[in-house]
A and B are shown apart, each in its own frame.
Chain A
Amino acid sequence: MKSEETVIEVENLTKKFGEFTAVNEISFKTYKGEIFGFLGANGAGKTTAMKMLIGISKPTSGEASVTGLDVYSQTDQIKRNIGYMSQRFSMYDDLTIKENITFFGGIYGLDRKTIKTKIQEIIESLGLKDVANKLVGALPLGWKQKLAFSVALIHDPKIVFLDEPTGGVDPITRRQFWELIYKQASHGTTVFVTTHYMDEAEYCDRVSIMVEGKIEALDTPENLKKEYMVDSMDGVFLKLARNIE
């Protein structure tokens, strides 16, 4: 469940590319066990912000820490301590399910015994027993994404970043994926997630919406809908993004 323990703290975080300010003094906190939706139109600065938080892009100014680690000086530790999955890169298509789990377990420094246990756990919980020795490339996208999510959690990180995890996934599997997210959050993992499906925004504990590099709104879906006087998150999003034109 949600608690007061912070997992991400961001204060006036900024990233400039020459004259262009991609991320403009954003500030927010996320808490242990929270599902935090990170929304915005294409080009609003979401990806740039996320890159700074996962330690692969240096901020221009401002402060941020992830699981207590500094995004300027402790980027290597950040990478070891977080989970990450995206729609684009999930796993190696030409390795089997077991080989992928073994590989990522090794990357995160797990010992053989732990990896073996993890393989059992993941394959059982996702019902992949019959296909455990099949190449990942042969799996339908929805299965791949569920597997990638489990693999991103293989080292029991306190936080997992999900970059459009359900893009293109069929509607039934998309919902199963969110059940995995809920379950993980209830075990205390913080989930930081981006999506273009506005119904998924409703499943988050809190949602932030970026517009032109700034966080223009940050609250629970319930409060945002009240504030913008609409009955869906789609309405909130359209109102916010429309105002800039």
Chain B
Amino acid sequence: MENISFDVKQGELFGLIGPDGAGKTTLFRILTTLLFADKGEATVAGYDVVKDYKKIRNSVGYMPGKFSLYQDLTVEENLEFFATIFGTTVEENYDLIKDIYVQIEPFKKRRAGKLSGGMKQKLALSCALIHKPKVLFLDEPTTGVDPVSRKEFWDMLKRLNDKGITTLVSTPYMDEASLCDRIALIQAGKILKIDSPANIIDQHEKQIFNVKAHDMHAVITDLKEFPGNESIYAFGEFVHYTHSNSDFSPENLKRYLSEKGHKDIRIEPTTPGIEDVFMDLARTKDLKPAANEV
């Protein structure tokens, strides 16, 4: 991580969006006082991450990417354990976790290690919330989770955020960005952009075209040979194409592709998504991840 600066406002749902190796976990560990930064300063809930580390630990909830509860304690025992070490009781803040905890309550006598992935996640979130933290840190809570369960998790997060808990969440899935109030796009230890998802998309000036034809792989190969091409990225059933200058004519491209033997060619302008912006920024700032020295 290099020269990162940002702030998160009270009550915000703030997303750190970036692939593995971007530095998301390192940042979370510094902010939760588990790791020292080499340089720079940070405060969480008004406390300094170095001097006031004890106060921070009492006022934040942290759910690491790796399941870190006690596997051989039951669901109920884990929750009571975390309530006790934070000097509170399950009853005192039950309201906060109720929606989530009721879903795993039928299994409260089961050992945490025997839970399914989804249930582990709900228990971990309950444990991170039981002391009513001011700030909640969630490190990649949806990584490796299927699209349906991911959507359910975000609905849950939104409801929690509505209760006023400031939340920092990291994810490698670009489609989750739109659910945050503000996001930081992060790659290779640097922040590419910080703003609301809507603003980030509005400010993106490059016109993107959806290109589609019968044989999509051949389309990609041929687009790379098209004079003046700037970026060519597969996007679901389309290719997102940008041109290096403004005198682009879809008709020319269509002619070029049909001369190459393509059929059912469609070319139409489309609006960018967060992933388009991310790739454009990563490409133009040349932040392709490099091999580290060992």
Q: State in angstroms the CA–CA spacing of A143 and B279 once bound together.
A: 17
Residue A186 CB within 8 A of the other chain: yes
Dominant secondary structure at the A interface: helix
User: Chain A residues in contact with chain B, CB under 8 A?
Assistant: 40-44, 87, 131, 134-135, 137-143, 164, 167-173, 175, 178-179, 182, 186, 196-199, 202-203, 221-222, 232-234, 237-238, 241-242
Specify which chain B residues have a CB less than 8 angstroms from the CB of A242 in the assembled complex. Answer: 148
A41-B148 in contact given A170-B187, A171-B174 (Cβ < 8 Å): yes
A232-B236 in contact given A41-B146, A168-B143, A196-B147 (Cβ < 8 Å): yes
Interchain CB contact under 8 A, B146 and A186: no
Interchain CB contact under 8 A, A140 and B116: no
Specify which chain A residues have a CB less than 8 angstroms from the CB of B236 in the assembled complex. Answer: 198-199, 202, 232-233
Q: State in angstroms the CA–CA spacing of A202 and B210 once bound together.
A: 15
Interchain CB contact under 8 A, A203 and B234: yes
Interchain CB contact under 8 A, A237 and B148: yes
Q: Say which residue of B144, B278, B294 sits within 8 Å of A167 (CB atoms).
A: B144
Q: Say which residue of A40, A131, A168 sits within 8 Å of B172 (CB atoms).
A: A168
Residue B193 CB within 8 A of the other chain: no
Count of chain A to chain B residue pairs whose CB atoms are closer than 8 Å in the complex:
111
Interchain CB contact under 8 A, B20 and A171: no
Q: State in angstroms the CA–CA spacing of A196 and B172 once bound together.
A: 12
User: Chain B residues in contact with chain A, CB under 8 A?
Assistant: 18-22, 116-118, 143-151, 172-174, 187, 216-217, 220, 233-237, 275, 278-279, 282-283, 288-294
8 intermolecular pairs with C-beta atoms under 8 Å apart:
A41-B148, A87-B144, A138-B294, A140-B289, A142-B19, A170-B18, A186-B217, A196-B145
Q: State in angstroms the CA–CA spacing of A164 and B146 once bound together.
A: 11
Interchain CB contact under 8 A, B235 and A199: yes
Minimum CB–CB distance from B214 to chain A (whole Å) comes to 11
A134-B291 in contact given A141-B21, A186-B217 (Cβ < 8 Å): yes
Q: State in angstroms the CA–CA spacing of A142 and B188 once bound together.
A: 12
Q: Say which residue of B144, B174, B283 sits within 8 Å of A164 (CB atoms).
A: B144
Interchain CB contact under 8 A, A139 and B148: no
A42-B146 in contact given A202-B237, A203-B234 (Cβ < 8 Å): yes
Closest residue of chain A to B144 (Cβ to Cβ) is A167
Minimum CB–CB distance from A230 to chain B (whole Å) comes to 12
Q: State in angstroms the CA–CA spacing of A237 and B147 once bound together.
A: 8
Interchain CB contact under 8 A, A172 and B216: no
Q: State in angstroms the CA–CA spacing of A138 and B290 once bound together.
A: 9
Minimum CB–CB distance from A98 to chain B (whole Å) comes to 14
Interchain CB contact under 8 A, A241 and B148: yes
Specify which chain B residues have a CB less than 8 angstroms from the CB of A237 in the assembled complex. Answer: 146-148
Q: Say which residue of B118, B235, B279, B294 sits within 8 Å of A42 (CB atoms).
A: B118
